[in-house]
Amino acid sequence: MPDVTFADLGVSDAVCEVLDEKGFVAPFPVQESVIPEALEGRDLTVRAPTGSGKTLAFALPTVEFLHEPHGYPGALVLAPTRELAVQITEEITPLAAALGLKTAVAYGGVPLDRQAKKAAVADFVVATPGRLLDLMRQKLVDMSKIEVLILDEADRMLDMGFIPQVEAILKFVPAERQTMLFSATLDGEIARLANKMTKSPGLIETEDDPGTDVALSERLEQTFVLVEPSERTETLIDIVKDEQDLVLVFCRTKRGAAKLTERINKMGMPAKELHGDLSQAVREKTLKSFTEGKTRVLIATDVASRGIDLDDIGLVVNFDPPDEPDTYTHRVGRTARAGRTGRAITMVLPDQVDEVGRMAKRLGQYDAWKAAGLRDALPKVMYASRGSRAFGKPTAKRESAPAAESPRAGSRVKRGTRTG
């Protein structure tokens, strides 16, 4: 018997029955931290990685607050991608149905009318920012009675350029509401957004994956492999051919993902591609096939992969190394989830050694880099213009911009007694 149950956290018997049926016996750390605070009506900013159980952390207290159907949207979740929006909706729907609540999802790439009709009368709406703005501006849905607003994967929203759309949506929802923001990072522009969206928020930080006392660094084996351009495809096949779990391969571009998929299929390795040039119907079918294990190898771009939320990915391969450390972290975070072990392999071309080596050092993976027999990365050379200090000419003093405030830890705020 678990020390803490969902019922102990304030989840109703009807919803607990659904959780039991789905095998959710005990809350994960982020759920145990968020649910009681959210049930108090408090605004929250939550730093939690993908795979930490954050969807249930915001879904459970929200359905409990809504409690009974109203025939109009009372709760709104904003997600960065279509795939993530669909997955969130699939997880919320049975929980909401236990209390008679309706859910709806809205995303681009499909006709407006059908989504608009469902969203207009749903109690719980999950949407991507662009599609929701379209619906609101055409007055097809009314968000003026929203009582709970949730922003999921805010850092991905920022990466994809959706923050202006999120800020535009804020003008359509009531100022008096409960707001929860979830992100893998809570600094810089995300901190500014959190302070704009929330009032006296509580700050909750989850350091590691749920369901285990073993650190992620001990469960995730990270390696680097030096390859020649002409040998990359064959090397990839050698890496994945004996893997029993699902394999997620990352390419930098849509065209690269498509070409690689075609090549390895011709070489006898079944795989499917996932990227933005595919129709929504094809993307959903591909993701469903991967989720069910019918497709074992999926070749994806970073943007297309952001809706993948699975615990069964045993291997991540960076066929193209990422450009940024944050992208690397998000990629490898697709494996070794929910207490499981996993592997992440980054393929490095000779002309990428310095760039990837510097990134490995910044990520604390330089031991793995050296273990692969790769040479030390040369420092990055910074070139200065002739008008800069490097050439003996002082530059004009510039006023520095004020640093963004970090999210504030605030006192408990009851529903209907918000402070501002």
For residue 21, being part of any structural domain is answered with yes
In this structure, the answer to whether residues 104 and 166 fall within a common structural domain is: yes
Task: Report the side by side order of strands in the sheet with 272-274.
Answer: 220-226, 342-348, 313-318, 246-250, 297-300, 272-274
Task: Say if residue 55 is in the same domain as residue 201.
Answer: yes
DSSP 311: S
Between CA 205 and CA 185 the distance in angstroms is: 10
Residue 384 has pLDDT above 70, yes or no: no
Contacts of residue 245, Cβ cutoff 8 Å, sequence gap at least 6: 312, 313, 314, 315
Q: Are residues 143 and 286 in the same domain?
A: no
Q: Kindly write down the DSSP assignment for every residue of 406-419, as one continuous string.
A: PPPP-----TT---
| Domain shared by 200 and 249, yes or no | no
CA 347 to chain centre: 24
187 located within any domain: yes
Q: 161, 184, 205 — which closes off a domain?
A: 205
Mean per-residue pLDDT for 114-118? 95
For residue 181, list its beta bridge partners.
45, 151
Instruction: Check residue 327 and give its pLDDT.
Output: 85
192 and 259 housed in the same domain: no
pLDDT of residue 389 exceeding 60: no
Whether 69 and 115 map to the same domain: the answer is yes
The model's pLDDT over 6-61, given as tens digits with 9 standing for 90+, comes to 999 999 999 999 999 988 889 989 999 999 999 999 999 999 876 678 999 999 99
Cα separation of 79 and 92, whole Å? Answer: 14
If asked whether residues 185 and 234 sit together in one domain, one would say no
Per-residue model confidence (pLDDT) at position 25 = 86
On whether residue 406 sits in a domain, the answer given is no
- What pLDDT, on a 0 to 100 scale, did the predictor assign at position 217? 62
Question: What is the pLDDT averaged over residues 71-100?
Answer: 94
Give me the pLDDT at residue 179, please: 98
Do 300 and 161 lie in one domain? The reply is no
> What pLDDT sits at residue 381?
64
pLDDT band at 156 (very low <50, low <70, confident <90, very high): confident
Is 103 a member of any domain?
Answer: yes
In a domain, 393, yes or no: no
For Cα atoms 306, 354, 299, give the angle at the middle one, nearest 5 degrees: 30
% of the chain exceeding 90 in pLDDT: 64
What pLDDT, on the 0 to 100 scale, is given for residue 417? 39
> Mapping DSSP to helix (H, G, I), strand (E, B) and coil, where does residue 201 land?
coil
Range of the domain at 183: 13-205
Residue 391 has pLDDT above 70, yes or no: no
Of the three residues 180, 205, 230, the one that is the final residue of a domain is 205
Tell me the C-alpha distance between 301 and 54, whole Å.
24
Select from 168, 186, 205 the last residue of a domain. Answer: 205
| Same domain membership, residue 316 and residue 237 | yes
Give the full edge-to-edge strand order of the sheet including 75-78.
Answer: 103-106, 124-127, 75-78, 148-151, 178-183, 44-47, 202-205
107 lies in the same domain as 222: no
Q: How many structural domains comprise the chain?
A: 2
7 in a structural domain: no
Q: Is residue 390 part of a domain?
A: no
Phi (first) and psi of residue 155, to 5 degrees:
-65, -35
pLDDT digits (tens, 9 = 90+) for 174-219: 999 999 999 988 888 899 999 999 999 999 987 654 444 445 567 8
pLDDT at 287: 87
Helix axes 54-66, 29-39, angle to 10 degrees: 20
Q: Is residue 320 part of a domain?
A: yes
Instruction: Note whether 59 and 180 are same-domain residues.
Output: yes
Looking at the predicted structure, is the pLDDT value of residue 240 above 90?
Answer: yes
CATH code of the domain containing 355? 3.40.50.300
* Mean pLDDT computed over every residue of the chain: 86
Assess whether pLDDT exceeds 50 at residue 73: yes
User: Looking at the whole model, is its pTM more than 0.85?
Assistant: no
For residue 334, name the pLDDT band (cuts at 50, 70, 90): confident
pLDDT reading at 396 higher than 70: no
Residues 192 and 78 placed together within one structural domain of the fold: yes
**Model pLDDT, residue 63:** 98
Q: Which residue has the higher pLDDT, 325 or 227?
A: 227
The whole-number average pLDDT for the span 96-114 is 94
Task: Encode 381-412: b = buried (16+ Cβ within 10 Å), e = exposed.
Answer: eeeeeeeeeeeeeeeeeeeeeeeeebbbebee
Are 57 and 35 in contact by the 8 Å Cβ rule? The answer is yes
